[in-house]
Amino acid sequence: DADVTQTPRNRITKTGKRIMLECSQTKGHDRMYWYRQDPGLGLRLIYYSFDVKDINKGEISDGYSVSRQAQAKFSLSLESAIPNQTALYFCATSSFAGGGTQYFGPGTRLTVL
């Protein structure tokens, strides 16, 4: 089984809809991250969490919110999706004790029409 899983893997939705992307990990890591990847722009950090009670904005947090339900679960919400949020979304994990190596999930391809 994969160490970092993301659901759904693909999602098509309409402008204005609320969308939640979920991430689970079995690596026992304390730190979790959400990124989006756009062609030509690389990956950009949306939110990160260093433990269950710690949530921090990344480079591009506007239009997104997150919830760290447990050490192993970190979800990303788009309250009112818009077309320029169409992208590939990745969840990642790391541990402070592990020196900071980040491990990525398989990604969620989101299309907002």
Q: Exactly one of 1, 42, 53, 97 binds another protein (CB under 8 A); which one?
A: 42
Tell me: does residue 19 bind another protein (CB under 8 A).
no
Q: Tell me: does residue 28 bind another protein (CB under 8 A).
A: no
Nearer to another protein, 81 or 105 (CB): 105
Q: Is 67 in the site for another protein (CB under 8 A)?
A: no
Residue 70 binding another protein, by CB under 8 A: no
Is residue 103 at the binding interface for another protein, with CB under 8 A as the rule? Answer: yes
d(CA 98, CA 70): 20
Alpha-carbon separation of residue 79 from 35, 62, 64, 96 (angstroms): 17, 11, 7, 31
Task: Kindly list the residues in this chain that would bind another protein in the complex (CB under 8 A).
Answer: 33, 35, 40-45, 48, 56, 58-59, 90, 92, 99-107
